Structure 1
Amino acid sequence: MSLSPFPKALLTRAENLLALYRDQGLMLATAESCTGGLVAGLLTEIAGSSDVVERGFVTYSNAAKQECLGVPEAVITGFGAVSQKTARAMAEGALLHSKADVAVAVTGIAGPGGGSAAKPVGLVHFGCARKGRPTVTRVKRFGAISRDAIRFAAIGVALDLLFEAVA
């Protein structure tokens, strides 16, 4: 009996992603804020993931984003922690501060509080950086669904970006 907190569909996608990266000899890193390490947790739920998952950064605070990933203070103060620019800087910073070939970043407002008219609960920005390629960003507005639903939906988008990075 599995005690995994992750739905079987996500576990299957994670297994497929790890196999794809393994076949291509690629390592990945995660840089997570609103998901609090759930993307890395999902990937490392799979036995043998250590040959693909290089490391994960949980950078919940602005200071951690700056100290661990090198996100410029000017980006956070100018655009906010939940922004396309911050997601891009997080993904690129994860590449620079690891030995990974691909890095995915997630930053958003999972709620139930903390949102505003400009940045409502359910707003999540993503970045995906791969060595030698332009960084890709994506934004999703999941709406004021539950905190868990926002975080798990964000995991799915992060997996999508990691798959696209090797397509």
Structure 2
Amino acid sequence: MSSTATDVVRLLTVKDGTLAVAESLTGGLVAVEVTSVPRASQAFRGSVTACATEREHEPLGVHATAPTANGAVDAQVAGRMPVGVRRAFGADRGVATTGVTGPGPQDGRAVGTVFVAAGGPFGVDSGSAGGGKVEALRLNGDREEIRRESVRSVLALLLKELAGEQTGNERAQDTERNGGF
């Protein structure tokens, strides 16, 4: 378990927040990372993992609302995935990963092309990418390295958004609840 996942779960539980995850290239690794943290069940609502391009986003209603000529590995699709997974699981926040791990290109996208996204009450569900805050990544390495960096990146994006929600008073209360400075 990573310190980022621990911090995400801590902030979610402090806020009585909930999280759902939509994954493609990471194949469930984001959910594994989050649920490896003690008390994650207080915040984690569930996940959707699908890797077949033609079926990838159907459970989330992505293609029905945002078809794209670029296929599943696209910023607009990535931005819609957190919205769909939040809706599917009744969660406050959602994160998503989509990308190409290889061995070859997919939908005209090179190996290492990844999009991670976060959506929730921090005001990004109507963002320019079609629903969530999206980061485009160009990762190097083998399949496993690309997947691991994608997990790290999406959790870091969520942590940044969660931390941005806290006011100074909430930060002081959180610090006090979790053992001081």
Q: TM-score range by the shorter chain?
A: 0.7 to 0.9
Secondary structure of the 1:72 match is: helix
- Give the conservation status (yes or no) of the 8 Å contact 1:34–1:151: yes
Identity %: 29
Give the alignment partner of residue 144 of structure 2, picking from 134, 148, 154: 148
Q: Distance in 2 between matches of 1:31 and 1:65?
A: 10
- Partners of 1:65 and 1:71 within 8 A in 2: no
Matched residue, 2:123: 133
Matched, 1:79 2:70: yes
From 148, 160, 166, the counterpart of 1:164: 160
Distance 1:146 1:90, change over 3 A: same
Query: Of 43, 47, 64, which aligns to 2:38?
Result: 47
**Counterparts of 2:5 and 2:151 in 1: how far apart (Å)?**
10
- C-alpha distance in 1 between matches for 2:122 and 2:147: 29
The one-letter code matched in structure 2 to 1:124 is V
Q: C-alpha distance in 1, partners of 2:55/2:32?
A: 19
CA distance in 2, matches of 1:152, 1:61: 20
Runs of 4+ in structure 1 off by over 6 angstroms are none
Distance in 2 separating the partners of 1:149 and 1:80:
23
Question: 1:93 maps to which residue?
Answer: 84
* Structure 2: runs of 5 or more not aligned: 125-131, 165-181
CA distance in 2, matches of 1:113, 1:63: 18
Match of 1:18 among 9, 23, 28: 9
In the TM superposition, what is the alpha-carbon distance from 1:28 to its structure 2 partner? 0.5
Query: What's the CA shift for 1:102?
Result: 0.6
1:114 to 80, 97, 105: 105
1:74-118 per-position Cα deviation (integer Å, ceiling 9, x unaligned): 7455221000011011111111211111100100001122347x5
| Distance of 1:62 and 1:14 partners within structure 2 | 28
Task: Indicate the larger mover: 65-74 or 100-109.
Answer: 65-74
Cα distance between partner residues in 2 of 1:139 and 1:76: 19
Q: Which runs of 5+ in 1 are unaligned?
A: 1-9
Q: How many residues get paired?
A: 156
